[in-house]
Amino acid sequence: MKVENKRVVITGSANGIGSSLACAFRERNAKSIVLVDLDESNNEKLANEINGIPYRANVGNEDEIINLIEFANQKMNGIDIFCSNAGISGTGGLLNASNDDWNNIWNINVMSHIHAAKHSLPIMLEQGEGYFMNTASAAGLLTQLGAAGYSVTKSAAVSFAEWLKITYGERGIGVSCLCPQGVRTPMVEDAPEIVGSLVSIDGLLEPDDVANEVIKAIESDQFLITPHPEVLEYMKIKASDPDRWINGMQSLTKQLIDAFPDAKNMLRDLEYEDESD
């Protein structure tokens, strides 16, 4: 789908990848862009810069997603591209994660994609076309050391995007799933040293570069977006020899524990926030 003259919704738009996506769509002459975030200050600033439409919503709440879609549909007279980009890292580890922690990360990292698709699809199907770009993570294809909730929810996000593409692809609905490793966002730069070292193991990418990869994928109807090419190689190893892959990840965990004095506790109970994914 060509993005020129398209009506776009972007969640998690105020910072990081979301902000860069907004600028990339504007540079390519998207017709209108609804910017969705809880960070009203940065979101309104961005909206002023790119002539976007700011909107505040908690994407983990279905009612707020419904209201967002109604707002966007009224403002733009339709929705062509929905970038379900917002996400959090949540509480790390397993033993110290409460049911509320799990519900929160599940609602934001998984159900937000599901609600966006469920309530946008009728509009897109009536139009005869539409596109979903769901931000997941390389953790959804591989795993994230020390972060059970993040790994599980990002894996579910990838699985849902795949199902959506299989089920609606022949009815004019395109789907892409973004799965980067480390991206130079405030979340990564402000994270503990061990976290930064882990997610940047194959280098940190700039958000603008990731956004450009997303635009290319949408315009070529490419499902899986892996800005770090190493991810595809890791996937081949994991698929061909799961035991080798798991042994290697266990070895990496031991290396991190040896390299960082606080790693043992961090890997068990890693806590950091990612509002822009």
- pLDDT tens for 94-136 read 888 899 999 999 999 999 999 999 999 999 999 999 999 999 9
275 in any annotated domain:
no
**Confidence (pTM):** 0.90
1 in any annotated domain:
no
Question: What is the domain-level CATH number for residue 259?
Answer: 3.40.50.720
Domain that holds residue 247: 7-268
In this structure, the number of other CB atoms found within 10 A of the CB of residue 170 comes to: 8
The region that residue 146 occupies, defined by phi over 0 for left and psi between -120 and 50 for alpha, beta otherwise, is left
- pLDDT for 144: 87
- Number of domains within the chain: 1
164 in any annotated domain:
yes
76 in any annotated domain:
yes
In the block, residue with structure tokens 């922690």: 101
Residues 6 or more apart from 44 whose CB is under 8 A from it? 54
- pLDDT tens for 58-92 read 999 999 999 999 999 999 999 999 999 999 988 87
Q: CA-CA distance, 123 to 80, in Å (whole number)?
A: 9
276 in any annotated domain:
no
273 in any annotated domain:
no
